[in-house]
A and B are shown apart, each in its own frame.
Chain A
Amino acid sequence: MKSKRLDLSSRRPVNQDSFIQEWPETGLILFNSPFDPKPGIRISRGRLCELDGKPEAEFDLIDRFIARYAIDLTRAEEAMALDSTEVARRLIDIGVPRQELVELFGALTPAKIVEVVNRLNTVEMMMALQKMRARRTPSNQAHVTNRKENPALLAADAAEAVERGFSELETTVGVSRYAPFNALALLIGSQTGRGTALTQCAVEEALSLKLALLGLTTYAETLSVYGTEKAFHDGDDTPWSKAFLASAYASRGIKVRFTSGTGSEALMGHAEAKSMLYLEARCLMAIKGAGSQGVQNGSISCIALPESLPGGVRGVLAENLIATLLDLELASGNDALASHSSIRKSAKLMLQFLPGTDYIFSGYSSMPKEDNLFGGGNFDAHDLDDYNVLQRDMQVDGGLRPVSDEDVLKVRRRAAQAVQAVFRQLELPPVSEAEVEAATRAESSTDMPERDVVGDLEAAGRFLEEGRSGLDVIRALAREGFDDIARKVLALQKLRLSGDHLQTSAMVLPGPKVVSAVNDPNDYRGPGTGYSLSPERRQEIASLNQALDPREIGREPSAQSGGFLRETGEAHAGTDPGEIVIALGPAFGTALRSTLLGIPHREVLQALIDGIRAEGLRPRAVKIYATSDCGFIGHRGAQLSGSGIAIGIQSKGTTIIHQRDLEPLNNLELFPQAPNLDLSSYRTIGKNAAKYAKGEPVTPVPTRIDNTARLKYIVRTTVLHLHETRQVVKDRKARELDWSPIQAAAGSGAVEKVTQA
């Protein structure tokens, strides 16, 4: 049986995640399977004849590939002889440069690499990742898909993603025949705004290559690699076929990165009782051996599997780290929903976000999850504001930037219009005005008009058969007046001549300018080195749309309405036992005109007066100048009060009931949470003050508990209090106030209405 509290806890999002114990025999274990081999190497006459305890005669295809291409045999014996803890220490020793470690790790075996990495705790792994990623400047990739595969919406989402700072976009298909149109929509959308991005379409290998050769995509990513031979075969490839494919892409000047990740072998039933990380180390070495410039890993679509196990998130960080130790470009996952829990998925992200990687997400769901054909995305469109705030909080470059609503709508509309124009020019099924409009303003594909699916698929098939290319798209764009987009698409195609983006960790910035590990190598060597935010970038990250100018707070027109108080001279101690002093803060009703919640000071004063009068006593108002502190304001008021009772009130609305013989910071009742006070509370405060003076029993004014009040109002509180404190004149005596405008209004229906509300 559960308590009510435990029952509610059991329904928390995190408890909808799956958790299991380790089961090494099936590969359901992150590190240290009892069946993992021990590190070891034997080289005879320049030939690797034993790898991690396995003799050459027993090598499988992956062992052979790694032995032939991935280990620097000239250094291997020396490197393997090093103590693993010593190597692990070098990773976080700022005195040891990255390049030295890259050379060292290029000579280790998979089991040795795993052993070294497993000597690091999570924070140490993050430190190592910060030092070892290949490119200095971090960046980010987005997913752009939708369930209806609507081209106008794809283009609009692509354009918005680039506007937000993503430098790579990846799409895929629900129905594979849509591939050329999805690729086309991304190509156009990605070049619509002022930014730029490389684009890809994740489909079957041969089709993926074809799209790239046609210039409809500008890079490829999904060359999947597995850590056991059987899993590799189920993926219908071998390390050699993948490596050849990589050369094929490069021969046409097209950027490629491979894909791997923990958990895939276990998921496919081919883990051979090895730990996930050991198998991933094999994948990464095969990828390096193939000559790939980089990899996307971090469990990718399998993420929930390692996360179900102890050390899952640490293991995923470890695989990211190994990719960088092997000097590979790293697009670090975070691309599939990792948890039902916002806390857990955000915590997981920090392991890549804080150290920085070449592409922190691979990719971020730039549209709402429901439209993500990749499996949700760990973060989606609705988390973008959170992400921007995280960058600002941590002063970390996560690759994104805040954008204005106007800019978003502008690029979305223009991208949808450009797709409409290209479809018209190339005689593809028309994109309607209604689609353009919907794509501009949509939440998701649910808001998009239906298209003729059969007609679209036929046209997409023909498009591919006829070998329509990026050049056809450029011509169509130019003929329809989208010269700027046409030029940018062409500039990107032209980069193929240079091969600049074939180098490790290349990203393309507007220009287009290629930035890679060659011209932007990570030179982190401890504090004061490596990547740092430029003043411009710092300002960009800081400038959230919702960030206010604090100088404007308290200066709103509503806070400025009408003066109603007149000072009549110095206030002296009263003798009337029936009077209650209302002591106002120095800015009350003058420099400031309303409380934190925007209740006009005039109405607040009126409610207090009303309450005192309702008990038959006489209110008297004074202005305190010597202090802005609520307790002292009340205390000074009490010294002036004939009854010895005073109400002190600050301009922001914080109120106290004070008594002459109490210490300044003591009180009869304190109402510190101004946001919880309304006019009826102020009226009750007036009544209670009067009752204290009369010596009657008093029920303290009930206050609500609102845990978010401080969260919501602390900035405004600070600024209003600052304004009040600026009005303080240390030696100025309290002043008597004429509040006749209020007196005249007192008892009017308006007040009664408010107080009853």
Chain B
Amino acid sequence: MEPDSGRGRIGRGREGDTGLRGAARRLTGCVRAPGGKRTMSSITDNYPLSEKNPDRLTTPTGASWNDIDLQSVLDGTLSMSDLRIAPETLELQAQIAESAGRSQLAENLRRAAELVNVPEARILEVYQALRPGRSTPERLEQLAGELESQYQARRCARFLREAAQAYDS
């Protein structure tokens, strides 16, 4: 189930944290407090997004929350790839987790944001490579490089390199 190429991919083209964070802000309509720092409540006030701000949710294929209903499923205009989370949304959830003091969860969600546009077969390939005794450090470095160059998945690439280093010591 690869993303439906027939739709505009709003998830594409936004690379790196700055782009995602900006997009995440637009998603919630969240503005900075006068002091320049967003307060915890201003972020968590948007939670749950599915109740508070569903209209602003889109999929990586460009479908919006309101596009997805029983009729669109029956028409066949909707596929499983439309029922996916967008990197911007994951970034926003990462910020929510962070504001609740959950830095590791936030980091996981940011790695996830990078994987949104990585095809499932490739994800499974990376997972298999990380399992015990499957890969040389070079192989892990190669996968890290690919994730970085093809998908701008910098955090994931760093994570793979850290694994390679740990496996090798």
* Per-residue B-contact encoding for A203-240, CB less than 8 Å = 1, 0 else: 00110010001110000000000000000110011101
Per the CB 8 Å criterion, the residue count for chain B at the interface is 64
CB–CB A490/B84 < 8 A: no
B residues less than 8 Å from A249 (CB atoms): 112
* Per-residue A-contact encoding for B104-131, CB less than 8 Å = 1, 0 else: 1111110111111010100110111011
Interface residue A65 (Cβ < 8 Å from any Cβ of B): yes
Contacting chain B: which of A440-448, A513-521, A572-580, A604-612? A513-521
Give A209 to B115 CA distance when docked, in angstroms: 14
CB–CB A499/B109 < 8 A: yes
Interface residue B1 (Cβ < 8 Å from any Cβ of A): yes
B residues less than 8 Å from A519 (CB atoms): 44, 47-48
Contacting chain B: which of A356-364, A409-417, A427-435, A500-508? A500-508
CB–CB B132/A290 < 8 A: no
CB–CB A238/B68 < 8 A: no
CB–CB B85/A497 < 8 A: yes
CB–CB A467/B132 < 8 A: no
Interface residue A306 (Cβ < 8 Å from any Cβ of B): no
Query: A487-B70, A499-B89, A499-B93 given as contacts; is B109 within 8 A of A514 (CB)?
Result: no
CB–CB A469/B104 < 8 A: no
* Per-residue A-contact encoding for B7-33, CB less than 8 Å = 1, 0 else: 000000000000000000000000000
Which among B48, B116, B130 has the greatest number of chain A C-beta atoms within 10 A?
B48
* Per-residue B-contact encoding for A456-477, CB less than 8 Å = 1, 0 else: 0000000000010111001100
Shortest C-beta distance, A436 to chain B (Å), equals 25
Give A102 to B24 CA distance when docked, in angstroms: 27
CB–CB B83/A327 < 8 A: no
A residues less than 8 Å from B160 (CB atoms): 240, 244
A residues less than 8 Å from B120 (CB atoms): 213
CB–CB A498/B49 < 8 A: yes
Interface residues of chain A: helix, strand, loop or mixed (majority): helix
CB–CB A471/B78 < 8 A: yes
Give A246 to B162 CA distance when docked, in angstroms: 17
Shortest C-beta distance, A73 to chain B (Å), equals 12
* Per-residue A-contact encoding for B123-157, CB less than 8 Å = 1, 0 else: 11011101111000000000000000000000010
Shortest C-beta distance, A496 to chain B (Å), equals 5
CB–CB B162/A497 < 8 A: no
Interface residue A407 (Cβ < 8 Å from any Cβ of B): no
CB–CB B68/A291 < 8 A: no
B residues less than 8 Å from A237 (CB atoms): 131-132
Interface residue A18 (Cβ < 8 Å from any Cβ of B): no
Give A68 to B166 CA distance when docked, in angstroms: 10
CB–CB A236/B127 < 8 A: no
Query: A243-B108, A497-B86 given as contacts; is B124 within 8 A of A483 (CB)?
Result: no
Interface residue A494 (Cβ < 8 Å from any Cβ of B): yes
Shortest C-beta distance, A34 to chain B (Å), equals 29
Interface residue B102 (Cβ < 8 Å from any Cβ of A): yes
B residues less than 8 Å from A61 (CB atoms): 166-167
Query: A497-B57, A498-B50 given as contacts; is B156 within 8 A of A247 (CB)?
Result: yes
B residues less than 8 Å from A209 (CB atoms): 124
CB–CB B104/A69 < 8 A: yes
Query: A291-B104, A494-B65, A504-B105 given as contacts; is B57 within 8 A of A241 (CB)?
Result: no
CB–CB B50/A251 < 8 A: no
Interface residue A345 (Cβ < 8 Å from any Cβ of B): no
* Per-residue B-contact encoding for A62-75, CB less than 8 Å = 1, 0 else: 00110011100000
CB–CB A518/B163 < 8 A: no
Interface residue A478 (Cβ < 8 Å from any Cβ of B): yes
Give A243 to B58 CA distance when docked, in angstroms: 26
CB–CB A215/B80 < 8 A: yes
Query: A236-B131, A251-B118, A503-B47 given as contacts; is B108 within 8 A of A246 (CB)?
Result: yes
B residues less than 8 Å from A65 (CB atoms): 166
Interface residue A99 (Cβ < 8 Å from any Cβ of B): yes
Shortest C-beta distance, B115 to chain A (Å), equals 4
Give A496 to B80 CA distance when docked, in angstroms: 11
CB–CB B109/A518 < 8 A: no
CB–CB B104/A288 < 8 A: yes
CB–CB A240/B166 < 8 A: yes
A residues less than 8 Å from B101 (CB atoms): 99, 102-103, 327
- Residues in B lying within 8 Å of A, measured CB to CB: 1, 44, 47-51, 54, 57-59, 65, 68-70, 73-74, 78-80, 83-86, 89-90, 92-93, 96-97, 100-102, 104-109, 111-116, 118, 120, 123-124, 126-128, 130-133, 156, 159-160, 162-163, 166-167, 169
A-B contact pairs, 28 of them (CB 8 A): A69-B107, A206-B124, A209-B124, A215-B83, A233-B133, A238-B131, A240-B159, A244-B111, A245-B127, A248-B124, A251-B115, A290-B108, A291-B106, A291-B108, A291-B109, A327-B101, A486-B73, A490-B68, A498-B57, A499-B49, A499-B85, A503-B47, A503-B96, A511-B51, A514-B50, A514-B51, A518-B97, A519-B48
- Residues in A lying within 8 Å of B, measured CB to CB: 59, 61, 64-65, 68-70, 99, 102-103, 205-206, 209, 213-215, 232-233, 236-238, 240-241, 243-253, 288-293, 327, 467, 469-471, 474-475, 478-479, 483, 486-487, 490, 493-500, 502-504, 511-514, 516-519, 521
Other contacts beyond A238-B132, A327-B102: 19, CB < 8 A: A69-B104, A241-B163, A247-B156, A248-B115, A250-B112, A251-B85, A251-B123, A252-B85, A471-B78, A471-B80, A493-B83, A494-B65, A496-B84, A497-B58, A497-B65, A499-B109, A500-B47, A500-B50, A502-B109
